[in-house]
Amino acid sequence: MKRRDFCVHACQAMSMIAVGTALPGCGGGDSPTGPSGSSGSTLQTVSGSVTNRTVSVTVDAASPLATVGGTALVQSGLGSFLVARISQEAFSALTATCTHEGCTITNVSGQTFICPCHGSQFSTSGSVVKSPATRALTTYATSFTGTTLAITT
C-alpha cells in the first residue's frame, strides 16, 4: 500500500469515528438509557373511539387505567393523549405531543411522562418537570361514568 493511500484511509476511518461519537447526542431516542439517563418505561397503549369531538375509552379491570396511579397512551382518530388516573373518579388527559419539538411522548416513570426524543418531563397536570421543553402540555376535560372515560377535545 502506498503512503498516500494509507493516509487517505486513515483519515476516512478517523472521520467516521469522530462522526460516530457525535451522533448519539442527537435525538437520544436510541440510547438504552434515554437522553437524560432515565427514559422510564413505555406507556401501555389503549384505543379510544371518537364521537363528535369526544374520545371514549373503556376502563375495565384489564385496563392500565383500572387503578389510581395508572397511566396509558390513548390513541384515537383525534390524536394521541396521555391519561393518568389521579383518583377513583378523576383522570388527567393531556396531549401526547411534546411542546419541545413535537415528538410523541411514549414513556412514563411513576407519575411523570417522559419524551423519548430529548428527555423533557411532564407531570400528570401537564406542567414541565424537566426541560428542554418550556411550555406545559395541553390539557383536556374528562368525565367518567361507569366504565367509560370521556375526553373532550
Place of cell 493516509: 7
- The verdict on 14 and 89 lying in the same domain is no
Residue 77, C-alpha cell as written in the block: 382518530
Half-sphere exposure for 143 (CA within 13 Å, toward CB):
4
Torsional sign, CA 16, 19, 22, 23: negative
Say whether both 25 and 70 belong to one domain: no
Cα–Cα dist 84/26, whole Å: 30
- Asked whether residue 71 falls in the same domain as residue 145, the answer is yes
Q: Can you tell me the distance from the alpha carbon of 31 to that of 21, in angstroms, rounded to the nearest whole number?
A: 13
Residues 24 and 67 in one domain: no
Does one domain contain both 68 and 122? yes
Residues 7 and 74 in one domain: no
Q: What phi and psi values does residue 20 have, to the nearest 5 degrees?
A: -60, -35
Looking at the fold, whether 83 and 117 belong to one and the same domain comes out as: yes
pLDDT mean values, one per 10 residues, the chain (153 residues): 57 48 38 52 97 97 96 97 96 97 95 95 97 97 97 96
Residue 92 domain boundaries: 31-152
SS3 content of the chain, % helix, strand, coil (to 5): 15, 35, 50
Tell me the whole-structure pTM to 2 decimals: 0.76
